[in-house]
Each structure stands twice: as structure tokens, then as C-alpha cells.
Structure 1
Amino acid sequence: MIVNAILEKKAGRLVILNVKEISAFTDYFVICDGTSDRQVQAIAGSVQERMKKSGIHPLGVEGESAGKWILLDYADVIVHIFHQPVREFYDLERLWDDVPRMEIPDEATELNSLSNGM
């Protein structure tokens, strides 16, 4: 649901990091970016709306008003939505370089259309 909500808003460079073997606080990081603060906010809104329709609410939301780096905490999944230059600066993927990952092509329209499993 999260990935499809992100793809719906045309996010860029979507990657899913499987951190459950080395993290005590979550199982997955979902990281993506947008080209503007408005797109970053729209992506976050899309994720929250889709999850809410399924009765799932975030434990926490950070950075929503600024739209530079929005974090949505869904316990087992933490979503990081960056404005492109902010993502480049923090480079979270480098910090978790040794974990299994799935990179979703920018042209993907939904996760079910992908055959690459984790």
C-alpha cells in the first residue's frame, strides 16, 4: 500500500531497505524523493490517506509542514520522503549500505507489476 501510494504521486528513486536483521525499531525503510516541497507533501499525503483507509495510522509524522524531509513512522515500516537536494545531503542509503534492498524503477506504476522480490 505504501509503495503504491508513493508511485501514484510519481516519486523518484524509490528504494526499500530491509533493516530487520540489524534494527530493533523497524523492519523496513522506504525512501523516495520529490522535485519540490509540494510534491514531497503530496507523496506524504497520499501514503497517509491510503493507510488511513485501511485503518492504519502513523505512530508519528515529522517534517510535514516544511516539505524538505517528511518521516512517517508506521512501526514496522518507516517512510522517508525527501526533497531531492536534502536526500543527496543526508544520503541515508549509504548509512544502511550493507542491508538487502529493492530499488523500484521510476517508470513503475505499482508494486504488483514488479517481479523483483526481497
Structure 2
Amino acid sequence: MIINTKEKLEVIVRAADDRLAHDIMVLDVAQLTPLAEYFVVMDAKNDRQLSAIINEITSVIEENNFELKNVEGKNGGKWVLIDMNDIIIHVFHYSERANYNLEKIWQDAPLVNVSDWISEQ
């Protein structure tokens, strides 16, 4: 079964939400950069939750045989980047997200509505 990028995106967002990632945003950067089609940005309230989110996302990537190019910052970082080629996932410690403000840097990127993929809490 071939899965498209939007379907992969849903799997990733649901996995992050399952581990209580906060303020999950998806930016459609396909028209703005050759780096990826989507950036997924989220934060975690503490180091333990950050690790749980990263572990869940990398697990679903493996389970679904999605391509995983690289994971940076996993060992003690406050910003972990998961590169899947077409999707780049940014998981921040809550205290660091505002410092980098990716949403502002990429403000020309349309937001993807992920409300159907996120549980109400």
C-alpha cells in the first residue's frame, strides 16, 4: 500500500497528540522551500514528555515503514528535529519554542487544519 504525504502527516500528528504534544501546528512549506512539503511544530511541557513524544513519533515511523532520514537533538536537546524528507518535525521544550519562533519565520506558509486529528483536551 502506497501512502501519500498527507496520510503520513496525519499519522505523525496523531502520534504526537497521543503523547500530549502541545500546540501542534502544521505549515505547508512546499511552495517556499525545497527542504520539505510540511513542517510540523509542537512543544512539550517537560523533558520526559519531550522524550515520550519523540519516541512515539519515531515508533510510528518505523511501524509504517516511512522513510526516516535523520533525528537531531535527541540526546538532551531542547529542540529535536525529525527529518522524513517530505515532512520535518520540530519538537521543542516549551521554554525554547518562542526563542526560535518558526511560525513567524515561516509565516507565509499556509497552516494545515489538523483539528480532526487532535483530541479535545
The question of a shared fold, defined as TM-score above 0.5 by the shorter chain, is answered with yes
> How far does the alpha carbon of each residue in 1:28-67 deviate from its partner, in whole angstroms, 9 at most, with x for none?
0000000001111110110010110011241000010114
> How far does the alpha carbon of each residue in 1:56-99 deviate from its partner, in whole angstroms, 9 at most, with x for none?
24100001011411100000000000001100111111000111
Aligned with 1:21: secondary structure?
A: coil
Q: Does 2:64 correspond to 1:49?
A: no
Q: Does 2:81 correspond to 1:71?
A: yes
The separation in 2 between residues aligned to 1:64 and 1:41, in whole angstroms, is 8
The separation in 2 between residues aligned to 1:20 and 1:57, in whole angstroms, is 18
More helix by share: 2
Question: Unpaired segments of 5 or more residues in structure 2?
Answer: 1-10
Question: Would the aligned equivalents of 1:20 and 1:26 in 2 still touch at CA under 8 Å?
Answer: yes
Shift of 1:104: 4.5
Question: Unpaired segments of 5 or more residues in structure 1?
Answer: 111-118
Question: Would the aligned equivalents of 1:41 and 1:67 in 2 still touch at CA under 8 Å?
Answer: no
Shift of 1:103: 5.6
The separation in 2 between residues aligned to 1:67 and 1:25, in whole angstroms, is 22
* 2:30 paired residue number: 20
- Root-mean-square deviation (Å): 1.8
* 2:90 paired residue number: 80
The separation in 2 between residues aligned to 1:77 and 1:56, in whole angstroms, is 11
Q: Percentage identity across aligned positions?
A: 33
